[in-house]
């Protein structure tokens, strides 16, 4: 019944002309009621009551409820009725004396002021109500297009609001309790995650597999409604595809870790087992060269030379592969130390090579870092050894080591004045067994920079080089700053 009357009122409000007529009819009715009440009071208390004692409230009521125009009509009707039926002589419109005329003017002025004030109030109120309704509709529209479900739940397990996402996934609730509607149960779930927020008052985050078989990431919040009653707001995001991707990623990582471990084991075992036969090949190649050099033809001497040098290179490559495979498996626990200590140990190991080519090695202040000290020493040793190897003819090698802080990392640099390289090769040199020069021109198996790259990756850093052919190179590597 209540909803029926509400629907009728909404219909009247939407019909402009019907609303207009009813407002002015209300003005006439209120003034007539005021006159009737005045007549009753005169009959009870006798003549002498103030003329407009009941017409002032009538004008106020009309102005507040119906607006400015009906308020003016109420003023006019009040003056006519008072001048005709209240003031003497009765039945003829007029005023008894100047005081009555002043009362009319005062009443009319006050009535206009009241109507004007009431109209301004009504307009501001209507504007505010319109703004509230606009914002309310905007909020509903936003909730309707959310890429997840949003529901409001009452303490008695009913759904006060459900957005379009929820309705499309689970259908209309039709006034049923959530446990009936979603799960077909006769009573609430034994350990309902959603309603925990009413007990704790704190937001609750959990994951749920819905009746549609999909996974949802759920956030629950408790709050008070405008009437003071408790409500639960639940927001759920479909994470089914994300969960599948996460599971696939976990499986892929596990498979990669297993494959990586197998490859490291294979590389270590293979390179370790190859050491002995290569050593034997090298020894016998040396014996053949020593015993039969010059006794056979010239081609045979070349063959023996190739055999011995090939065995030596193969041994060096296997040893490099063994060192490379050990980087990720034989590292030590990270601890804090000064990078200068690691650099000094590297320079000590390279002392004879530095003195042999009369190199000048300098360095600036180096920071404390959290890393594997032996591996950082290996990085310095390989980079400085690389600069000594690729020096320019008779030019004195000059090598400088520096470091600077950038954001949440330290950037180290090792610069030289060596032969440099073309820019197209700056990425290739960090690959295993990649060489830029013919075999035999420079010593090494082409694995030193690959080891540097793997060590820095193990420290979650990055290594790169900037170089100019004939001028020199600067190798950079980063070490994250850890607390």
In tens, the pLDDT along 219-276 reads 999 988 888 889 999 999 999 999 999 999 999 988 888 877 776 676 666 656 666 6
Q: DSSP H helical segments within 171-297, as ranges? A: 178-183, 196-200, 240-292
CATH topology of domain 145-238: Beta-Lactamase (3.30.450)
DSSP code for 332:
P
Strand arrangement of the beta sheet that strand 215-224 belongs to: 159-162, 149-153, 230-238, 215-224, 204-209
* Tokens encoding 36: 């009737």
DSSP code for 150:
E
- CA 141 → CA 47, 147, 223, distances in Å? 63, 12, 21
CATH of domain 335-480: 3.30.565.10
Report helix angle 339-349 to 373-389, nearest 10: 50
Percentage above 70 pLDDT, the chain = 78
CB burial readout 49-72, b (16+ within 10 A) else e = eebbebbbebbbbbbbebbbbbbb
d(CA 362, CA 431): 28
Residue 228 burial (CB count, 10 A): 6
Task: Return contacts of 439-442, CB within 8 angstroms, 24+ apart.
Answer: 439/313, 440/309, 442/389, 442/390
CATH topology of domain 243-326: Helix Hairpins (1.10.287)
pLDDT at 22: 86
Task: Return contacts of 241-248, CB within 8 angstroms, 24+ apart.
Answer: 243/215
Strand 204-209 and strand 360-363: pairing? unpaired
Phi/psi zone of residue 366: left (φ > 0), alpha (ψ -120 to 50 degrees), beta? beta
pTM of the model: 0.47
pLDDT at 467: 85
- Of the candidates 371, 332, 406, the one whose C-alpha atom is nearest the C-alpha of residue 482 is 371
Instruction: Say whether 382 sits in a helix, a strand or coil.
Output: helix
All CATH 3.30.565.10 domain ranges of the chain, comma separated, are 335-480
d(CA 457, CA 281): 36
- Of the candidates 33, 23, 14, 107, the one whose C-alpha atom is nearest the C-alpha of residue 66 is 23
d(CA 165, CA 480): 44
Beta strands in 322-397 (DSSP E): 335-338, 360-363, 368-371
For 385, the enclosing helix (H) or strand (E) is helix 373-389
pLDDT at 11: 57
Render each residue's pLDDT in the chain as its tens digit; 483 residues.
444 544 554 554 566 777 778 888 888 898 889 888 888 888 787 777 777 778 888 888 888 888 888 888 888 888 888 877 777 666 666 666 677 777 778 888 888 888 888 888 888 888 898 898 889 889 889 889 999 999 999 999 999 899 999 999 988 888 888 888 888 888 888 888 899 998 888 999 999 998 888 999 999 999 888 888 899 999 999 999 999 999 999 999 888 888 777 766 766 666 566 666 766 766 766 777 667 666 766 667 667 676 766 666 666 666 656 666 666 555 577 889 999 999 999 999 888 888 888 899 999 999 999 998 888 998 998 899 888 888 887 888 999 999 999 888 999 999 999 888 877 667 777 776 555 544 545 555 567 788 888 889 888 999 998 888 888 899 999 999 886
Return the residue matching tokens 């804090």: 336
d(CA 408, CA 259): 32
Strand arrangement of the beta sheet that strand 398-406 belongs to: 360-363, 398-406, 409-416, 472-480, 463-468
For 37, the enclosing helix (H) or strand (E) is helix 16-45
* Tokens encoding 130: 């319109």
Q: What secondary structure, in 3-state letters, does 286-303 show? A: HHHHHHHCCCCCHHHHHH
Residues in the chain: 483
Q: What residues contact 108, with CB distance under 8 A and at least 6 apart?
A: 75, 79
Strand 335-338 and strand 230-238: pairing? unpaired
């Amino acid at each position: 019944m209540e909803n029926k009357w509400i629907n009728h009122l909404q219909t009247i409000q939407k019909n402009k002309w019907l609303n207009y007529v009813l407002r002015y009819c209300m003005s006439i009715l209120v003034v007539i009621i005021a006159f009737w009440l005045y007549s009753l009071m005169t009959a009870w208390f006798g003549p002498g009551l103030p003329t407009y004692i009941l017409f002032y409230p009538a004008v106020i009521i009309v102005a507040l409820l119906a607006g400015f125009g009906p308020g003016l009509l109420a003023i006019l009707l009040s003056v006519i009725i008072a001048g005709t039926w209240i003031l003497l002589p009765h039945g003829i419109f007029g005023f008894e004396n100047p005081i009555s005329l002043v009362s009319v003017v005062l009443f009319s002025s006050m009535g206009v002021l009241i109507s004007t004030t009431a109209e301004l109030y009504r307009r501001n109120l209507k504007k505010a109500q319109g703004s509230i309704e606009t914002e309310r509709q905007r909020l509903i529209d936003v909730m309707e297009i959310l890429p997840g479900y949003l529901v409001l739940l009452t303490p008695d397990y009913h759904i006060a609001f459900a957005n379009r996402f929820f309705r499309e996934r689970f259908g209309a609730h039709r006034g049923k309790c959530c446990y009936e509607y979603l799960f077909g149960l006769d009573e609430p779930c034994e350990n309902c995650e959603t309603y925990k927020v009413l007990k704790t008052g704190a937001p609750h985050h959990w994951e749920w597999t819905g009746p549609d078989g999909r996974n949802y990431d759920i956030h629950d919040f408790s709050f008070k409604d405008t009437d003071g009653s408790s409500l639960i707001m639940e927001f759920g995001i479909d994470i089914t595809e994300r969960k599948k991707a996460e599971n696939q990623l976990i499986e892929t990582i596990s498979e990669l870790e297993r494959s990586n471990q197998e490859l490291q084991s294979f590389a270590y075992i293979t390179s370790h087992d190859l050491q002995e036969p290569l050593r034997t090949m090298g020894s016998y190649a040396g014996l053949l060269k020593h015993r039969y050099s010059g006794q056979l033809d010239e081609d045979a001497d070349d063959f023996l030379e190739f055999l011995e040098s090939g065995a030596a290179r193969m041994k060096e490559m296997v040893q490099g592969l063994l060192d490379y495979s050990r980087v990720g498996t034989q590292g030590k626990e990270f601890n804090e130390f000064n990078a200068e200590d690691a650099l000094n140990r590297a320079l000590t190991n390279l002392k004879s090579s530095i003195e042999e080519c009369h190199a000048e090695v300098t360095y600036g202040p180096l920071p404390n870092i959290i890393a594997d000290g032996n591996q950082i020493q290996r990085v310095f040793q390989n980079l400085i050894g690389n600069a000594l190897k690729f020096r320019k003819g008779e030019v004195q090698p000059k090598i400088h080591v520096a470091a600077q802080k950038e954001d949440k990392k330290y950037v180290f640099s090792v610069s030289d004045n060596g032969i440099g390289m073309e820019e197209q090769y700056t990425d290739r040199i960090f690959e295993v067994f990649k060489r830029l020069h013919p075999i035999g021109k420079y010593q090494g198996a082409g694995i030193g920079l690959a080891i540097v790259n793997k060590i820095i990756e193990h420290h979650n850093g990055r290594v790169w080089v900037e170089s100019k052919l004939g001028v020199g190179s600067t190798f950079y590597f980063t070490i994250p700053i850890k607390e």
